[in-house]
Amino acid sequence: MSLYGTMRTGVSGMNAQANRLSTVADNIANANTTGYKKASTQFSSLILPSTGGAYNSGGVTTDVRYSISAQGTFTYTTSATDLAINGKGFFIVEGTDGQEYMTRAGAFTMMDDGSLQNSAGYTLMGYEYSSTEDPTIVVNGFDGLQQINLSSGALNAKGSTAGALDVNLPSNEEVGYEKTTSLVAYDSQGNTRLIEFTYTKTADNAWSVEASYDGTTIAGPIAMTFDSEGQLLTPSPATITTTAQVIDGANLNALSITVGGSSQLASAFDVSNGKIDGNGASKVTGYEISDDGIVSLKYSNGELTPKYRIAMASVQSPDNLKPLPGNVYSQSNESGVVVMGYAGTNGYGSIISGALEDSNVDIAEELTSMIESQRNYTANSKVFQTGSELMEVLVNLKR
């Protein structure tokens, strides 16, 4: 056995325990870091070939692993922009370098420009929301993502396009009887426009309805006929369609008003259902984030309008992602390719608004590891010291 080899083995052991102690120090320092995933040190022996009955001591090498796939507990907060993922997946964030990264650190705060940034300065990314279909995503890349912005709709106005007006027309009135009611619609600039509907009895079980705005006819007269039970027969389909108007530079869209619930019974004229879509100009007063990642803006008129869908990502081997400063990760050769998706679909976890994922560090476990590392470091130093002393004895044999 080589005394030099013994000393080198002792040094190898001390270096390995120093590495372990470094991961312990990082874990303890980040025990309260949102979304932090602990590091651990794995040891592997280095065996040298032995010849002629002499044993050659090798040493030990270390490999640092990260428990990225191990989920932490949750801490609930009062901020709707604090986000946690319950299950598989990562948020996509953009750094100041313009590159996209993955993270579980969801302590996002709305900045003065409306963007959402976490405590490390990374901006949350997603797709523009569509009410008819999920946004098209690039499955294996970050193309098409945009910054989620909560002030993108500081003022909102939506022109009316459809509504409903169900009335009862009194069957016991004389021919020529006339009654008027109205609906408030919104033009493209959010102005209110009063649409009047005039019903006139033309014969038994027969009426006409005309829609007008400011004295100008925009639909009708349209014939409405009823059966002997007072149920609507025509028009079929039971819809009144108005013509579009340009009013003071704003567009009043063509309106499709359903009247299928109208009746003709021996009772007074009555409106049982009158509604129309659209809204006037209103300010953003808040926001909501659903468990499937839909970001909706809340307006002063009470309307909740979906604007974005938070994107999520995953890889085949999350524990092999490359950790970077700021508690973010990037793809590595061992992790596999990035696969995109949405919360609550294809195995991705749900998003919890008003919560943060805690670090998965166990302080008791780390302190135990610290004591073990300290004792093992001391033991390896004794091996080195003993080798050094034997070398001194060998040198002094000549005296």
**3-state class (DSSP) for residue 95:** coil
- Identify the pLDDT of residue 5: 76
- Identify the pLDDT of residue 129: 85
How far is the C-alpha of 60 from the C-alpha of 39, rounded, in Å? 19
Q: Is the peptide bond before 237 cis (omega within 30 degrees of 0)?
A: yes
On the question of pLDDT at 126 being above 60, the answer is: yes
CA distances from 60 to 4, 41, 42 (A): 16, 12, 10
Q: Average pLDDT of 318-331?
A: 94
Q: Average pLDDT of 307-334?
A: 93
Q: What pLDDT digit, counting tens, does each position of 198-212 carry?
A: 999 999 999 999 999
Amino acid residing at 34: T
Q: Average pLDDT of 83-96?
A: 95
Give the domain ranges of the chain.
Answer: 3-67+360-396, 75-150+306-357, 160-277
Give 40 or 155, the one with higher predicted confidence. Answer: 40
How far is the C-alpha of 168 from the C-alpha of 196, rounded, in Å? 16
Q: Find the angle CA(98)-CA(99)-CA(102) to the nearest 5 degrees.
A: 135
- Mean pLDDT over each residue of the chain, to the nearest integer: 90
pLDDT band at 165 (very low <50, low <70, confident <90, very high): very high
Q: Average pLDDT of 63-74?
A: 93
Q: Average pLDDT of 242-266?
A: 95
10 Å CB burial of residue 208 (0-12, 13-18, 19+) is middle
pLDDT band at 140 (very low <50, low <70, confident <90, very high): low
Give 39 or 135, the one with higher predicted confidence. Answer: 39
Q: What does DSSP assign to residue 141?
A: S
- Mode of pairing for the β-strands spanning 192-203 and 206-213: antiparallel
Closest C-alpha to 279, from 182, 190, 152: 190
Q: What pLDDT digit, counting tens, does each position of 217-231 carry?
A: 999 899 999 999 999
pLDDT band at 132 (very low <50, low <70, confident <90, very high): low
**3-state class (DSSP) for residue 100:** strand
H/E stretch holding 9? helix 3-29
On the question of pLDDT at 1 being above 80, the answer is: no
How far is the C-alpha of 12 from the C-alpha of 194, rounded, in Å? 86
On the question of pLDDT at 304 being above 60, the answer is: yes
Q: Average pLDDT of 1-5?
A: 71
**pTM of the predicted model, to two decimals?**
0.70
Domain 160-277 has CATH 2.60.98.20: yes
Give 58 or 295, the one with higher predicted confidence. Answer: 295
On the question of pLDDT at 14 being above 70, the answer is: yes
- Decide if 377 contacts 60 (C-beta within 8 A): no
- Identify the pLDDT of residue 305: 83
